[in-house]
Structure 1
Amino acid sequence: MADFRKLVAVSLLTGLLGGLLLSVLQHYQTLPLILAAEQFETPSAEHVHDWQPMDGWQRNGFTLLFNGLTGFGFALLIGAAMYWRDQHGYLHGLGWGLAGYLVFFVAPSLGLPPELPGTDSAELHSRQAWWLFTAAATAMGLFGLVLTKQRGLQIGGACLLALPHLVGAPHPEVAHALAPEELQHHFVVLTSINNAFFWLALGALSGRLLSKVKF
C-alpha cells in the first residue's frame, strides 16, 4: 500500500506538470487555429442551447483541468509499467513516454486525425470504439513485438499493430470541412508536436521522480 501511495503521488505531480506544459503549448499553438476555424461556422438552431466555456479564463481553466487529469491518468500508467518492469531514470521514462505516444496518439491518429471545428465526422460511438480498439491492439502489439523474445509473439504483435488499420476507421460517407485544408493540415501537425512533447515529458518526469523514491 505504501508503494501504491508513492506511485500515485509521483504520477499526480508528473501529470499536473505535463498537463500544464500541454496547456501552454495548446494556448499558443493550436488554440489560435481552433478560434480561426470557428469563424467559418454558422450558428444553427440545434446548437443554440449547447453550453460551451467562454473564451478567456473559462476555456483556459477547463483546458488546464482536463489536461491535468488526463496527464495524471497517463502518468499513472507509465509509472505502473516502470514499477512492474523495475525500471527508473529518465531514459527508461522516455522510452515508455514514446510508447504511450504511439499507442494513444499516433496509431489512432492514422485513422482519425485531429479535427478542427466544422469538420464532419462519423458517429461518435463508432469513433470511440475504433479508438479504444486501436489503442488496445497497439499496446498489445508493441508488447509482443518489443518486450518479448518469442518469435510467435513478435509475429502476433506485428499483426496486431496492423489490424486496426486493415479494419479501417469509421468515416462519413461524404467528407466535408468548413475550415480550409491548409488550416486543417497545420492543426494536425501542431497537435502531433504538442502531444509528442506532452508524452515525452510525462515519461522523463516519471522516470526521474521514480528514481528519487524508495519503494
Structure 2
Amino acid sequence: MSEPPRAAAYLDVDGTLTTGVTLFELLRFDAAERGTDREAVAFLRTVAAMREAGVPRAERNRHYFTWWSGRQVEDVEQVGRRWFASVRTGGSTAGGGGALRPQVVSIVERHRRAGHVVVLVSGSFAPALAPLAEVLGGAHLLVTVPEVEDGRFTGHVAVPMIGEAKVRAVAEHARREEISLPRSAAYGDDLSDAGYMGLTGHPTVVAAPGAALAVEGGRRGWALVAV
C-alpha cells in the first residue's frame, strides 16, 4: 500500500505565532544598534500614516522594505539572528513585541510530533523569520522576498506575501511538496489570511473573539484560539 499524502500546518506569523509585528520589531532593533532611533520612529510614523490613509497592506509592505535599501543581505541576516536571540532572552528593544504565543507554539509542537510539515506564511522576510524557523524544527518559509543586487537589498519588492499571494504560495507549496490540503491545517489572525486558510481542511483563527477574522471564521465553522 502506498503511504497517504503528507499533511502540513500553514501558519501566519505576526499576530498569530508572535505577539507583535516582526518587521517592525526587527527595524527598531536595527535602529537601536546603529543609533538611528529617531529615523526609525519617523519611518514607522510614515507607515502608520499610510495605514490610516487606507493604503493597502501590500503597498505598505513594499514601503517598509525601503528601510533596508543598500544593506548587505548577510549583514541583515546577522541583525535578524541577534534580534531573535534578544527576544528569546526577554531583551527586545520594544518590550518583547516579537515574543512567541505559548499556546500556538504548543500547537506547532503537536503538528511536528504528528509528522506534519510546518510552514510559516508571512509578509515578513527571511532575515526576521529564519531563526524562528530553525527553533520550530526547520519550518518551511513562504515569505516576502525583497529584490537583491550584488548581495545588497535594493529596497524593492515585486510580490509582497500578502492576501492572494499567500493563497498562490500555499497552493504551489502543497503541489510541490505533495501535501494534502484537505488533511492540512492553517492558522491566521487577520481577515487577509482567510484565503489561504480556506484552502485547508482544518483552519483555525488565532484572535480575540469579535475580531474580523474570528467573526468570519465563526460564520464558516472554523475553530478559534482566543488570545
> Could you state the TM-score of these two structures normalised by the residue count of structure 1?
0.24
Compare the two structures and name the one with the higher strand fraction.
2
Compare the two structures and name the one with the higher helix fraction.
1
